[in-house]
Structure 1
Amino acid sequence: MFLAGTAALTACAVMPARAAPDRPALSVEAGDYLLGGWELYSSRFVTPEGRVVDDDNGSISHSEGQGYGMLLAVAAGDRDRFQRIWTWTEQELFVRDDDLAAWRWDPNATPRVTDRNDATDGDILIAWALLRAAERWGEAEWRHRARSIADAVAERATQAAGKLTILMPGVTGFSAGEQPDGPVVNLSYWVFPAIEQLETISPSLAEAKLRESGLELARLARFGRDALPTDWISLAARKPAPAKSFAPVFGYNAVRVPLYLAWEGEAGRALLEPYLDAWAGENGAGPHVVDVENDLRADRLDAPGYEAISDLVACALTQRPASDRTRNFVPTTYYPSTLHLLSLMAFAERYPRCL
């Protein structure tokens, strides 16, 4: 199974344990980009009740979107909207019998929670946002809740894979026996900067060492000519492979991987070269959906939010300044707009020089 051999563990074994991460203070200019972008974003995608609307998917809401909304509200210093988003999230999505959130809520369905399974990236994002809010505004209850969620992820949504522990996409549906080539994982669910910070308050999450397994997976799961990960990855064999039950594509999930790697810092930055090479290659094409089995490029990811990730990668590796389209946020639809603001957060915290 994945990472069973000692050679594959070499890169992880030398990584020291980390103290609480030190996030740089935002420059005034970087803060202005975020504040202006958040006002536009929240007026477009956040209802007065605090529901983050995914207009790419029939105006549903999900734990991922609520977590992103909470995180952006903290970064913008918008306590009122943060409180509304969290209150809605707690009331509508925390309906399971553990400390994890149901992932999907549909305004046109009865009951509105149409899938009670969790999505671990949503859980991690919500916990991270709560922890950051607790630090910013001094609310001990938010810190306590962040730890409860992080502990539940570690207890309920991780599995051993060889000598490391992996993050499952949800509590159910992805293990060996539930997938023909399970366990199946999604590398974009490893929100590296979130995991790093949550480890400081959750000993059980720290013990799982998810950061190490995610970085190792990012090193090994490189497929096709462009050496990119697929959205869904099988860890049934010694080497990762595209999962059989999903399209073998680098797509709308995996495009977040370089964002989180760049945001993570030095260890993540060392794994960004394939993205820079792929996106600066033929015709300077930028991010595309790529069929890694046939090396075919399909949809071009041409919204400004995807360009912002490409700019972030280029900045992290070459210090190239961000484009005007990246610096000046203009909403498009929920998903690329969210990625755009997250990229601006990563710029502001890790690479303000490129703004």
Structure 2
Amino acid sequence: MRRRTVISGLAALAVARPALAQADAWTAWRDRFVAPDGRVIDDVNDGISHSEGQAYGLILAEAFGDRETFDRIEGWTRGHIANRQDALMSWKWDPSRADSIPDWHNATDGDLLRAWALLRAARNRGWPVDSAVPAAVTRDIVALCLAPDPRRADAPLLMPGAEAVRQADRVLVNPSYYHPRAMRELAAAFDAPQLARAADHGEALLAELAATGFLPDWVAVTPDGFEAPRDHDYRSSYDALRIPIYLAWSGLAAHPAVAGMATMMARTDQPDHVAVRVEADGAVTAISNAPGYRFIVDLAKDRFVPFSAGDLASQSYFPATLQMLAHVAHAESHG
């Protein structure tokens, strides 16, 4: 049997938790998107699973105190995608393929949030967690997924993956991968000051982007400022929607990127819809009335709108998941 330990000094702390009013919604989300073996299923993208989704499932299970589901999700994760030579995860698992993992590259946000979920489980719930896992993930994020900003060598950028292409004068960044609270808490727990510096610089980076009036999914950072990425579309869409959630969760509801995303999402005259894809020239090319996406605007404006299991039944994996995460973010930032 694998020896399991509790993260030293953290599990004994009594952490006050805000009340989460949507327990029925958690049950609905779990029953729809978590398979019996613990695989979190993206029902729109051909039923694949990805490291981001597994991490979201862990965070939500911890937030709602569901240890059995937490253990199932982590067990599947360890057995199927935590398979690299380092402590990071392969980002995609495809049930339609014989090899299941067509791309073993990691996605830094999934690794960051999984480590944070494990830290939270030990600290907030006292659940037995193998402390070596989040410690190793944090170590490898610092070692493999940080790069100097070409404009300031002492300011680390969070790269989207360990194998992401980077040059001394050009670093690819996904702004929605920054979760300052998660980064700082992992840095404090595992003596990783570089990750805390990356969180600080990430806040500044997001403020710079907000000042331009455009918060993209992907951007290249160069000595002269921001440029369109070479291998990704230069637009603001489903990745960038997460920016207000992570900032509000980090106690940064007044950050200019929160209001900036809310303004971009409001660029539609269609009632009860929000913009979910905005091009670099400002053109809105996709809108949605999914409650999960509209909930992000409410969060950005510090409005809490109650929802129920019925709201989740009408949504696919991604908007339903963002609504759940935004609910937890709102509760914990006001807790």
TM-score > 0.5, shorter chain as reference: yes
- For residue 274 of structure 1, what is the aligned residue in structure 2? 260
- Report SS of the residue matched to 2:326: helix
Query: Which residue of 299, 321, 337 corresponds with 2:286?
Result: 299
CA–CA distance in structure 2, aligned partners of residues 103 and 266 of structure 1: 28
**How far off its partner does 1:208 sit?**
5.4
- Report SS of the residue matched to 2:297: helix
**Aligned runs of 1:311-330 on 2, under 5 Å?**
311-315=298-302, 321-324=303-306, 329-330=311-312
CA contact (8 A) 1:53 1:59 kept: yes
CA–CA distance in structure 1, aligned partners of residues 214 and 292 of structure 2: 19
**How far off its partner does 1:56 sit?**
1.8
Query: Which residue of 74, 90, 106 corresponds with 2:62?
Result: 74
Opposite residue 105 of structure 2, the aligned amino acid is N
CA contact (8 A) 1:54 1:60 kept: yes
**Aligned runs of 1:141-160 on 2, under 5 Å?**
141-160=129-148
- For residue 15 of structure 1, what is the aligned residue in structure 2? none
- Report SS of the residue matched to 1:339: helix
1:202-238 residue CA offsets vs partner (Å, 9 max, x unmatched): 22254551111211110112486xx121111001233
**How far off its partner does 1:154 sit?**
0.6
**How far off its partner does 1:24 sit?**
5.4
- Report SS of the residue matched to 2:80: helix
Opposite residue 308 of structure 1, the aligned amino acid is F
**Aligned runs of 1:1-355 on 2, under 5 Å?**
25-27=17-19, 31-33=20-22, 35-139=23-127, 141-161=129-149, 162=152, 163-176=154-167, 182-206=170-194, 209-222=197-210, 227-266=213-252, 269-280=255-266, 283=269, 286-292=274-280, 294-315=281-302, 321-324=303-306, 329-331=311-313, 332-351=315-334
- Report SS of the residue matched to 1:235: strand
Opposite residue 164 of structure 1, the aligned amino acid is A
Change (3 A) 1:303 1:131: same
RMSD of aligned alpha carbons: 2.5
- Report SS of the residue matched to 1:229: coil
- For residue 13 of structure 1, what is the aligned residue in structure 2? none
- Report SS of the residue matched to 1:277: helix
CA contact (8 A) 1:291 1:298 kept: yes
CA–CA distance in structure 2, aligned partners of residues 327 and 42 of structure 1: 11
- Report SS of the residue matched to 1:108: coil
**How far off its partner does 1:269 sit?**
3.3
CA–CA distance in structure 2, aligned partners of residues 340 and 203 of structure 1: 32
CA–CA distance in structure 2, aligned partners of residues 85 and 205 of structure 1: 29
CA contact (8 A) 1:103 1:118 kept: yes
CA–CA distance in structure 2, aligned partners of residues 217 and 326 of structure 1: 36
CA contact (8 A) 2:209 2:257 kept: no
CA contact (8 A) 1:291 1:297 kept: yes
CA contact (8 A) 1:185 1:232 kept: yes
Normalising by structure 2, we get a TM-score of: 0.87
Opposite residue 114 of structure 2, the aligned amino acid is I
Normalising by structure 1, we get a TM-score of: 0.82
Opposite residue 173 of structure 1, the aligned amino acid is A
CA contact (8 A) 2:24 2:308 kept: no
Structure 2 stretches of 5 or more lacking a match? 1-13
CA–CA distance in structure 1, aligned partners of residues 34 and 56 of structure 2: 11
